[in-house]
């Protein structure tokens, strides 16, 4: 039987409230104004997410891929976006230690 890939459910419907790989790419696109924060990626296929990743990667390169190297306004925006994401994820039962177990 042929296995098909499903499209991304979107940051707001992600089981980790957008702390998944795809969710982080979309949130980083918000950070760098590549996407408006109203776009959550719902229905996107892996190719579209890969294209977005390439754009986000290019933006992170400017700062050595380090939050600490972001200018103050972007650093604050990053904190706001990710604090909200972590709060929502925990409300939905996300346990960051579970991610570590998956990597073991």
Domain ranges of the chain: 21-98
What's the per-residue H, E or C state across 69-102? HCCHHHHHHHHHHHHHHHHHHHHCCCCHHHHHHH
C-alpha distances in Å from residue 51, one per residue of 25, 54, 58, 61, 89: 10, 5, 11, 16, 25
- Between CA 77 and CA 45 the distance in angstroms is 27
Phi/psi of residue 49, each to 5°? -65, -40
pLDDT of residue 92: 81
What would the pLDDT profile of 39-68 be if each residue is shown by its tens digit? 999 999 999 999 999 999 999 999 999 999
Confidence of residue 104 (pLDDT cuts 50, 70, 90): very low
More confident residue, 44 or 14: 44
């Amino acid at each position: 039987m042929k296995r098909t890939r499903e499209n991304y459910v979107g940051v707001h419907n992600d089981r980790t409230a957008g702390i998944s790989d795809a969710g982080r790419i979309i949130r980083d696109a918000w950070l760098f104004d590549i996407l408006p924060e109203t776009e959550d990626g719902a229905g996107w296929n892996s190719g579209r997410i890969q294209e977005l990743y390439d754009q986000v990667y290019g933006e992170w390169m400017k700062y050595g891929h380090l939050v600490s190297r972001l200018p103050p306004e972007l650093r604050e925006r990053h904190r706001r976006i990710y604090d909200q994401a972590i709060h929502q994820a925990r409300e939905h039962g996300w346990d960051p230690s579970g991610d570590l177990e998956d990597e073991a």
